[in-house]
A and B are shown apart, each in its own frame.
Chain A
Amino acid sequence: MRRQHLLAATCISLSVLAAPAGLMAQTAPTTVRVGLDVDAGTLDPRLARDTSAYRVTDLIYDGLVRLAPDLKPMPNLAKSWENPDPLTWIFTLRDGIVFHDGSPMTADDVVFTYQTILKPEMNAPLRALFTPIAKIEAVDAKTVKFTLSAPYSPLLSYLEMGIVPKKAVEGGADIGLKPIGTGPMKLSRWDRGSRIVLTASPQYWAGAPKTQELQLVVIGDNTARAQAFEAKDLDVIQSPLSPQDIKRLQGNAAFGNAVTTGLGITYLNFNTGDPAVSDPRMRRALAQLVDQKSIVDDLYRGVDQVAGSILLPSSWAYSATIRQPAFNPAEAGKALDALGWKDTNGDGIRDKDGKKLTVTISTHSEDPNRVQTLEFMQSVFQQAGVEAQLRISDWPSFSTGYVQKSQHQVALLGWLNIVDPDRLMYSQFSTNGPLNWGKYSNPELDALLDTGRKSLDLDARKTAYQKAAAIIANDLPYYVVSYQGYQVFYAKSLGTLEVNPRGYLRNVLGMAAR
């Protein structure tokens, strides 16, 4: 009953608004306002490093491929590709593509884009993803050939990165500030730290978007951004959102909502080089003290999902039968007893040889949900007789000054953009891998990850990654706490919105076309 009233009220207010809007429809652009959590650092797709830069450059630029919702690479600027052998990829480009400055897009631009990202002095954050590329050449104006130093099947997924115009960039254009792409939107205004305004590119090859103007407004605080949305100052907000705002927004009939599993995980990184957690039995016991369900349901309010293994449910490699240890304090207690950790002095904390059982768990202060997770974990650990020290500091101190230096025991953090299992496992678990901060080493796993990286056969890759995931679920260099959820809320006046797991906004353009 109450909802009906609300709906009626909304309809009235909408029709009141619609009257003048209808008259002005010929002149006024259709504008959609989207909230961003941070300003983009740059609008050069090669240098993008924050989610906002990814989301905005996706609108301004096109890549060779684009990823379908199931993460399968689909043709985009490249209309087709072939592998004469595992080390060679040949792409044929679409005809008639032009950059926003009117110049045609050719194979030279593709070669330039990937040659520059590989240059060390470019300092591209994603450079490591492309290092297996040995040579890139333009066979002719419409054909590009990639030669690899070793077979590297995940490459295709990474080729969604935007292509930049060679001539303009070599001519001195700063595309980080004034981007020039081939995408559906172009930049019309950027007030640093405040908002990015994009307008439709009329010459877009797949048809100009109906949304004439897209305003991306930066509001750092999650709660404030949600409030701005409720105050109708924004039309769309998306993850990251405060879990506590989500339930309320869901109850509001004026807002549309969609949820999907994102492409990120939140996990515990065990430092296997630290004596405290070097024993896999100890890691398993501690993992059994992580109450995933309460964390996900109560702290994340159902936005994230309980994780079963390191494979994402949306991935082609997923298997529901591979399971890490689940929450089981009784089992954990027995395991700790068996390891010789018993509370002999009655202070509530287990001890062995006169030493208390203590672990240090760390995370960063910017994410209050992670801080809450740690606080909650500590309480459960305490009840099981494990003293947990919390170490909470800001991101640079925590990440670059601590975990990346392998000084942690147990750290709570995350990975994003896992478009291929290789991206979450190869550098992270290979012996001496560059991102192997937990110093894990297992020759069997090394071999499996190598197979997964090199094989071009999807079934062979799937088998390799499932075996690898089973080893990880047993040995626990990582304990995956949750699969990160992705949420979007939008004003229903805009129609219905499909979700994109990374918060890319092309669907918003289509949505406003109604």
Chain B
Amino acid sequence: MLTYTIRRLALFVPMAAGMVIVTFSLLLLVPGDPAAVLLGQEASPEDIARLRMALGLDDPWFARLGRYFAALLQGDMGRSIFQNQPVAGVIGERLGATVELALAALMVAIVLGFVLGIAAAMWQASWVDTACMLLAQLGVSMPVYWLGILLMLAFAVQLGWLPSIGRGEPLLAAAGMALAGNPGPLLKSLSHLVLPALALGVNSAAIISRLVRTSMIEVLGEDFVRTAYAKGLRRPRVIVRHALRNALLPVISVIGLRFGALLGGAVLTESIFGWPGLGQLTIAAISQRDIPLIQGIVLTYAMMFAVVNLLVDLSYALIDPRVRLG
């Protein structure tokens, strides 16, 4: 298992390097000058030229790329042009918020997805099935940001049940305070989390519910489940012990596959709900042409992608003994 993990992580290096090169090429081609954006409309052309020189933007591309990789090997992601701080720090400030949102959305997706999927499978071909699957279909068919604005309109503006925007204390910190006897921040953090997590998670919930339904129906028809029934096991137990366990596999693989979609969706969700995460930072960095920051964010995405996929594969082995890692 350990050697497997190491080998898998080694694959991350060419992927990350490739992503950096792709990003670098895109940034080389994209119109717009970070120096001119930084200095604003009122800056003189001389000042802009001087800043370009200072930032090394006029150097040949291979020199810039080489410099970037050389620094990277020493663990230095560079400085954000706009925030004038180390890139790692800028990203670190935002990463927690996005991970929190993505995990919460995943929770929403799994809970909703399993409830709908199991209900549909158990009452297969009944109106419950139709209703659940129609809901799921609508869930995948809605533009994420539209859903977000509609949710905000309904639950924050019209009903006033939940805050419309922003984030409370980081969830972990708030949970710590709750353990120390102060539940206020935790409740506040959770109330801020509900709408964005829902908006982001519904899409994946719909996909998961369809998968759960399919694999459960498949499994419910298989020999060992029939055997389980024959042995006199009761229905809920069969579902949980056998059918659900088998349904988990494809669902987990989908979670891995959809992680990129979730992060992409987070870009929209974050900007609608004022969630201070990586998605908003990405949009800002692109719209400022903050080259080192964009590169750093891309590397972060690469790392998250690698870690999530590793976790998915490892959990495969845990859930299904038939899968051997090698």
B160 adjacent to A395 (CB under 8 Å):
no
Our count of residue pairs bridging A and B at CB distance below 8 angstroms stands at 148
Q: How far is the CA of A218 from the CA of B41 in the complex (A)?
A: 23
Q: How far is the CA of A120 from the CA of B39 in the complex (A)?
A: 11
B31 adjacent to A401 (CB under 8 Å):
yes
Q: How far is the CA of A400 from the CA of B90 in the complex (A)?
A: 25
CB distance from A12 to the nearest CB of B (A): 15
Q: Mark B263-297, 1 if CB is under 8 A from A, else 0.
A: 00000000111101100110010111100000000
Q: Which of A165-173, A190-198, A290-298, A474-482 contacts B (4 or more CB under 8 A)?
A: A190-198
CB distance from A194 to the nearest CB of B (A): 3
- CB-contact partner of B272 in A121, A224, A404, A427, under 8 A: A224
B149 adjacent to A219 (CB under 8 Å):
no
A399 adjacent to B149 (CB under 8 Å):
no
Known interface pairs A125-B43, A228-B164; A399-B156 also in contact (CB < 8 Å): no
Q: Is the interface of B mostly helix, strand, loop or mixed?
A: helix
Known interface pairs A193-B281, A402-B31; A435-B163 also in contact (CB < 8 Å): no
Write out the residue numbers on chain A whose beta carbons fall within 8 Å of the beta carbon of B313. Answer: none
Name A's B-contacting residues (CB within 8 A): 38, 41-42, 47, 49, 120-121, 123, 125-129, 131, 176-177, 191-195, 217-221, 223-225, 227-228, 230-233, 366, 393-397, 399-402, 404, 415, 423, 427, 434-435
- CB-contact partner of A221 in B50, B93, B271, under 8 A: B271
Known interface pairs A123-B51, A396-B288, A401-B31; A221-B83 also in contact (CB < 8 Å): no
- What are 24 A-B interface contacts by the 8 Å CB criterion? A49-B40, A125-B42, A126-B40, A128-B44, A128-B47, A191-B93, A194-B166, A217-B274, A218-B274, A220-B271, A221-B271, A224-B273, A224-B274, A227-B153, A227-B157, A227-B164, A228-B163, A228-B166, A231-B163, A232-B160, A233-B166, A396-B287, A397-B32, A401-B32
Write out the residue numbers on chain A whose beta carbons fall within 8 Å of the beta carbon of B37. Answer: 395-396, 399-400
Q: How far is the CA of A192 from the CA of B87 in the complex (A)?
A: 13
Write out the residue numbers on chain B whose beta carbons fall within 8 Å of the beta carbon of A434. Answer: 44-46
B42 adjacent to A129 (CB under 8 Å):
yes
CB distance from A335 to the nearest CB of B (A): 32
- CB-contact partner of A399 in B36, B47, B160, B274, under 8 A: B36
Q: Considering the complex, which residues of chain B in the window 21-53 have a beta carbon less than 8 Å from any beta carbon of chain A?
A: 30-34, 36-47, 50-51
Q: How far is the CA of A223 from the CA of B45 in the complex (A)?
A: 36
Interchain residue pairs A-B with the least CB separation, the first 4: A396-B32, A401-B31, A194-B276, A400-B36
CB distance from B83 to the nearest CB of A (A): 7
Any A CB within 8 A of the CB of B85? yes
Q: Mark B221-250, 1 if CB is under 8 A from A, else 0.
A: 000000000000000000000000000000
Known interface pairs A42-B83, A396-B288, A401-B33; A194-B47 also in contact (CB < 8 Å): no
A177 adjacent to B41 (CB under 8 Å):
no
B40 adjacent to A224 (CB under 8 Å):
no
A177 adjacent to B85 (CB under 8 Å):
yes
A127-B43, A194-B276, A224-B164 known; 11 other A-B pairs, CB under 8 Å? Answer: A42-B83, A127-B47, A192-B90, A193-B280, A217-B274, A228-B164, A228-B165, A231-B160, A394-B286, A400-B31, A400-B37
A231 adjacent to B32 (CB under 8 Å):
no
Any A CB within 8 A of the CB of B82? yes
Q: How far is the CA of A396 from the CA of B39 in the complex (A)?
A: 12
Q: How far is the CA of A213 from the CA of B312 in the complex (A)?
A: 46
- CB-contact partner of A435 in B41, B166, B167, B277, under 8 A: B41
